[in-house]
């Protein structure tokens, strides 16, 4: 297939960005989206032009590095990671617009690469437990009801790709935080820090410049791991619980 690609180019964090149009021919429908960008970059290098910078690592949909806005949708037209999006989702003659995540808390470093270390700082502020590490404990030494274990596992699937932030009209990271809070809050090992955790993480979230949640549901719609929207309810419940504990 032959494609027209409108791609965001930005030389650095403080540079003026711009959309640049490229023509790419003979794209196989079996290519992944990132493979298509690799082919484009090979052609740019052959011409002596600067290749397009974009993030990727595992290319297996498990690390969250590859996030892009494709035709205005986080990760593109399928509910998956960008690296698992294939060109068969597009058609011959299509025009595809590719942009980086758009959020104050995710500043553009170069082209399609953004700095998502704000997520790391949120986790560092409270997304941890103080249980001893070492040899694995006997599986039945700390009973966990199956519904809670299932809920924790479901929430732990979050890969921190940032699609929820990119899709949210307020650039909120509440789905990301809700997943982390629910994951740890459902387990006995997460109880010692439970009430302090949510306060510290929400405080860091706001400090980083993420917006507030207005329950549009756009975050859950694009989440490649299908984290349910109700983890935000759990986040709010824990936040209210922390306030009552301090009262």
Residue 13 to residue 26: CA distance in whole angstroms: 33
Q: Mean pLDDT across the stretch 167-194? A: 95
pLDDT level of residue 113 (50, 70, 90 thresholds): very high
Asked if residues 71 and 97 have their Cβ atoms less than 8 Å apart, the reply is: yes
Please give the tally of structural domains in the chain.
2
Q: How far is CA 158 from the centre of its chain?
A: 8
Task: Name the pTM for this structure.
Answer: 0.92
Helix (H, G, I), strand (E, B) or coil at 1: coil
Q: Both 104 and 126 in a single domain?
A: no
> Is the model's pLDDT at 138 over the cut of 90?
no
Q: Both 106 and 121 in a single domain?
A: no
Q: Both 160 and 90 in a single domain?
A: no
Task: Render pLDDT for 148-170 as a digit per residue (tens, 0 to 9).
Answer: 999 999 999 999 999 999 999 99
> Is the model's pLDDT at 247 over the cut of 70?
no
Q: Mean pLDDT across the stretch 31-37? A: 97
pLDDT level of residue 134 (50, 70, 90 thresholds): confident
Q: Which helix (H) or strand (E) holds 182?
A: helix 174-185
Number of H helices and E strands in the chain, helices first, is 8, 7
Q: Both 98 and 120 in a single domain?
A: no
Domain containing 191 equals 116-131+141-246
């Amino acid at each position: 297939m032959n494609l027209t690609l409108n791609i965001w180019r930005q030389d650095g964090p403080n540079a003026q960005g711009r959309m640049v149009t490229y023509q790419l021919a003979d794209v196989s429908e079996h290519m992944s989206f990132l493979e298509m960008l690799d082919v484009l970059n090979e052609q740019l290098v052959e011409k002596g032009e600067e290749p397009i910078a974009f993030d990727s690592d595992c290319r297996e949909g498990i690390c969250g590095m590859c996030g892009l806005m494709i035709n205005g949708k986080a990760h593109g037209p399928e509910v998956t990671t960008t690296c698992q999006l294939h060109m068969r989702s597009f058609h011959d003659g299509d025009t595809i617009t590719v942009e980086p995540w758009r959020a104050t808390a995710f500043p553009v470093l170069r082209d399609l690469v953004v700095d998502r270390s704000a997520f790391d700082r949120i986790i560092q502020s409270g997304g941890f437990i103080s249980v001893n590490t070492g040899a694995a404990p006997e599986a039945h030494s700390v009973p966990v009801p199956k519904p809670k274990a299932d809920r924790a596992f479901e929430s732990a699937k979050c890969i921190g790709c940032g699609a929820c932030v990119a899709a949210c009209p307020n650039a909120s990271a509440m789905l990301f935080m809700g997943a982390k809070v629910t994951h740890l809050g459902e387990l006995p090992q997460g109880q010692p820090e439970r009430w302090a955790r949510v306060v510290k993480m929400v405080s860091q979230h706001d400090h980083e410049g993420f917006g507030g949640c207005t329950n549009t549901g756009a975050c859950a719609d694009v989440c490649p791991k299908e984290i349910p929207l109700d983890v935000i309810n759990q986040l709010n419940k824990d936040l209210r619980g922390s306030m009552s504990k301090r009262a």
